[in-house]
Structure 1
Amino acid sequence: MIDDLKINETLRERWYAKGYWTHDTIADIWQRAAVAHPDREYVCDDTGSRLTYGEVDDKAGRVAAWLIAEGIKAGDVVTLQFPTWAEFCIVYVAVLKVGGVVHPVPRNYNDVDLEYAMNLVGSRAYLSPTFSHNTDYEAQILSVRDAVPTLAAIAVLDKQAPSHSELPTFDDIYERFEPLREPVPVSADSVACILPTSGTTGKPKQSMLTHNNILFSERVFTRELGRTQGDVMFMPSPLNHATGFFHGLISPLLLGGRAVLQQDFRPREAIELMNAEGVTWSMSATPFIYDMLNALDAEDGLAFDTLRLFCCGGAPLPPALIERAARYGVLLCEIYGSTESCPHVFVPPEKCAEWNGAWSGVPFAGIEVKVIDEAGNEVPRGAQGEEISRGPHMFVGYLNERDRTDRALSDEGWFYSGDLCYMDEEGRIRINGRKKEVIIRGGENISAREIDDDLIGAPGLANSATIGMPDTRLGERICTFVVPSDPAAPPTQDGLIAYLRERHVAKRLWPERIEIIDEIPVTATGKVKRFILAQILKERMEAE
């Protein structure tokens, strides 16, 4: 049972009094939806899977019954490792039915990542496909099973390949178990989901969000964006992110609507899929809409038939992109937030054209935002400072890392984003930089420090420092400045990648550009002056 949660009691009482929080869990909301419209389609994907609310409920109920038979109890953590498939809905609902905690991890986590993450959260069960995308998930979990002492149950979905071990498959479970009819009761203030999030140092933190956090967040998100039951959500983002899971699947659930998933994003196929399924809105990182607009520009007759609203997170929206989308009948709406504070600022749809990328947005109803200086005092309007936020959506801490929780989340409920911004007299903010050393690549936060740590010991490398390299499509790519131990034989990109591959470092952490430098610029206390590296990179790229 996870109980080290950081929730301010005064705020808790206020949010219940205002109706921001209720006693409903996500499982309660699901149960009502499944009873109200069992034959309505809830989710489909581009692999051919289609599931109604009733079908998800039946299969999830059977998996839930199996989890209980395996000893999984309320409060236990269940790790899910899935592509962007409709079947993810079966497993997340099953976990919530038993009062468990959903712990979705990236589909590209390798054995080292998986062992670390599952031990950190104390996983009691693990659910995945047998095989997908050249990854043998079954072999991978079996290779680390004995290294995760809390792990009590494993099951695999044989959607694309048969099981090659004695592990139970979902088809076995569907045949052997009758559905659990009523969800196991838990508090709406208990943790519903743990999402990995990259920080500025070391390994990913595990952000804890309660049922109330998630439900408030998605209710205000759908309401202020004017969404209804008739809207159809397109989601190409990974389901281990708040964007993919919460916006992609919980938002449609609250509306009684539909979600359309794409396993591997390809822009032309995405447009065709959205048109075929009547998609009206989406939420993803900027590169997704950038690529689709390029596909539209390249092919006469290709168009968005039904898409009208595309919400973008991960980076500020350039005006030129907003204007391009408008020519195809789509409003681009900037959304700002993080896994911990997700989301909390947005550009209202009716203001998208007028503000035209000048502002990151205003807080959603019920959420507070301030801009502060280094001493924690609010700065005057128009002055730059750090963005902090507070509200019923706010995460309740990093699992088993109270020190990191206390640094990020104050006793009064304020989350310190590390992002720099300014606010005008109307309460609009503009994010214009960040204090923390994070590279935002295609909407995914990548720790620059983690990349540098992984490179320690690489042949021919005396020192390194990684920064974000500007990229039109992804926002940023990974650029590592390298100090060679022998200037006559500097390390190459291929050599460094070979070293990282041998150490089982995930591909998402491999440098995409190497810059040789004589010395890494640092402060008097040894902190890397990454702004100087950014200026050097800019000059070198311009010279090219």
Structure 2
Amino acid sequence: MTAGTIAGLLDECAADRPQRPLLRDVEGHSLTVSDVAALTSAAAQWLWDAGIRPGMTVAWQMPATVNAAIVMLGLARMPVVQAPVLHLYRLREVRSAVEVANADILLVDESTASDAPQMPTVTVPPDLLARLETVTATAHPEFDGPAPTDPRWVYFTSGTTGRPKGVRHTDATLLRAARGYVSHLGVGSHPKELGTIAFPIAHVGGMVYLACALLGDFPVLLVPKVTAENLPRLIAEHEVTVTGASTAFYQMLNTAQMSAPTADLLMPSLRMLIGGGAACPPEVHRQVREHLRVPVVHAYGMTEAPMICVSEFTDSEEQLANSAGRPIPGSEVRISAGGEIELRGENLTPGYTDREQWQHARTEDGWFRSGDRGHLRPDGRIVVTGRTKDLIIRKGENVAPDELENELLAHPLVDEIAVLGQPDELRGELVCAVVRRSPRHRDVTLDELCTFLDERGLMKQKWPERLVVVDEFPLTGLGKVAKSELARQIAGGTS
């Protein structure tokens, strides 16, 4: 596939393999590549009829449904900027996002309409596909000409003030990420390959993963709502071979398997878990291999640069468990003197919507400061050791939450854990362990955690001084633990 734009890639695939399946919903309805190409052409006309014109910035907020995928690909045919908004956002977050993107219009569906701010809004009907069947696409000369390097996407990432940053992308940056992901993972190589978008499709990974499906020639199952109860069932029913999102996603599937009343695999069709976002601790790799009997093939990426480094399906167990892979073609990584990961390359955003923010985010020689700590191994793979802002400084000693989380995940009474720093007058910060309550066993105690770390040889300065047990972790759109929100929630709690 040689197309330089997303719409061009879709049309090229439709011409080459029109009857290959591409999109599937949870009820089992399927659309071929040619179906999707035709429907998205009709969607572009439907969007035109709804008032969308060249040069507009179009925000949209929908869960991971076939309708959302068709709207997104329909907008990709038009000379507009689209700003996908996570369907989990409520009114305040949606308002901030559309303001940051300077959006002219907002598309919603029945599930998100109640959180739309006061602005021009169009509701996408539940029967969109049936309506598109009756639409006759008209040739619009204005639709011709968008270049692969035109900034036509705005995604959102959290800012230090709570207001999101607007991250621009081009078709070229998203396709570079997708090509690297496919080549390293080998997705599409299984004869019955079926992937999933079981995370918000409005995340940057949504479009990247759809591009992966086109490049790798495999269909994807769209899952609009993910729960610990329905996901294993859907994976088994549809015989999904590849799924994933984040470390929390892996842990959810692992816990479901461990809680099953039988030793039989709940999801026997799975051949690997894939994903990115936060680092995946080696202990999680070990547990997934033991209980799900598949490898975790993890990646390192962010909204500003999707799929920076990706593990390879041919990597050894040691490489998979202890690194996040090596840079994809076109992506460059270096480590600063202070241990921060810095980036440049063909998958990197051309900038934020706020130019001043973009200037502050780069080094004098033009590399992007990721905000992550890490190091490169002799084999060229990257090890991500955490966020620079998550580092706990206790009495002048640096404590890395990732190290403690990995160690404590091996405790038999810990299924999921987050370690964070809390303000303390005497120490500067104290180490707080937050454990998610498990239905499988009693709660762990602080003394038991400290004894366990003592037995594993960690110095006392790293031991948690506070333990909080919670029923649920607050999560980001991609399923990572939202540590800033978690810290706020437990600030007034007791040990």
In the other structure, the counterpart of 1:118 is 98
Cα pair 1:61 1:181 within 8 Å, conserved = no
In the other structure, the counterpart of 1:200 is 160
Q: Deviations over 1:43-98 (max 9, x none)?
A: 11225553222332233222211333455344432211111112111101110111
Unpaired runs of 5+ residues, structure 2, are 393-400, 403-419, 438-481
In the other structure, the counterpart of 1:51 is 31
In the other structure, the counterpart of 1:185 is 145
Rounded to whole Å, the distance in 1 between the matches of 2:156 and 2:315 is 33
Cα pair 1:81 1:107 within 8 Å, conserved = yes
Question: What is the deviation of 1:466?
Answer: 12
1:369 maps to amino acid: V
In the other structure, the counterpart of 2:299 is 335
Question: What is the deviation of 1:226?
Answer: 1.4
Name the count of aligned residue pairs: 413
Rounded to whole Å, the distance in 2 between the matches of 1:418 and 1:325 is 28
In the other structure, the counterpart of 2:63 is 83
Rounded to whole Å, the distance in 1 between the matches of 2:118 and 2:361 is 32
Aligned partner of residue 59 in structure 2, secondary structure = strand
Cα pair 2:100 2:164 within 8 Å, conserved = no
In the other structure, the counterpart of 2:124 is 156
Rounded to whole Å, the distance in 2 between the matches of 1:398 and 1:466 is 32
1:189 maps to amino acid: T
Instruction: Show the 5 A alignment for 1:418-429.
Output: 418-429=371-382
In the other structure, the counterpart of 1:515 is 491
Instruction: Show the 5 A alignment for 1:80-479.
Output: 80-129=60-109, 131-132=110-111, 135=112, 137=113, 139-141=114-116, 144-145=118-119, 151=120, 154-158=122-126, 175-178=134-137, 184-228=144-188, 230=191, 231-247=193-209, 249-299=210-260, 300=262, 301-327=264-290, 328-355=292-319, 357-373=321-337, 385-399=339-353, 401-410=354-363, 412-436=365-389, 470-471=433-434
C-alpha RMSD of matched pairs (Å) = 3.5
Q: Deviations over 1:378-434 (max 9, x none)?
A: xxxxxxx111111110111111x1010111135754211111122333333322232
In the other structure, the counterpart of 1:459 is none
Cα pair 1:388 1:414 within 8 Å, conserved = yes
Cα pair 2:327 2:333 within 8 Å, conserved = yes
State TM-score, norm by structure 2: 0.74
Cα pair 2:57 2:101 within 8 Å, conserved = yes
Cα pair 1:111 1:144 within 8 Å, conserved = no
Aligned partner of residue 57 in structure 1, secondary structure = helix
Cα pair 1:287 1:473 within 8 Å, conserved = no
Cα pair 1:224 1:348 within 8 Å, conserved = yes
Cα pair 1:366 1:392 within 8 Å, conserved = yes
Q: Deviations over 1:419-466 (max 9, x none)?
A: 11223333333222322369999xxxxxx9xxx9xxxxxxxxxxxx99
Closer, same or farther in 2 for the Cα pair 1:27/1:438, shift >3 Å? farther
Aligned partner of residue 185 in structure 1, secondary structure = coil
Cα pair 1:236 1:244 within 8 Å, conserved = no
2:57 maps to amino acid: V
State TM-score, norm by structure 1: 0.68
2:293 maps to amino acid: G
Cα pair 2:330 2:347 within 8 Å, conserved = no
Rounded to whole Å, the distance in 2 between the matches of 1:225 and 1:332 is 11
Rounded to whole Å, the distance in 2 between the matches of 1:102 and 1:83 is 16
Aligned residues with identical type, % of pairs: 24
Rounded to whole Å, the distance in 1 between the matches of 2:138 and 2:28 is 24
In the other structure, the counterpart of 1:456 is none
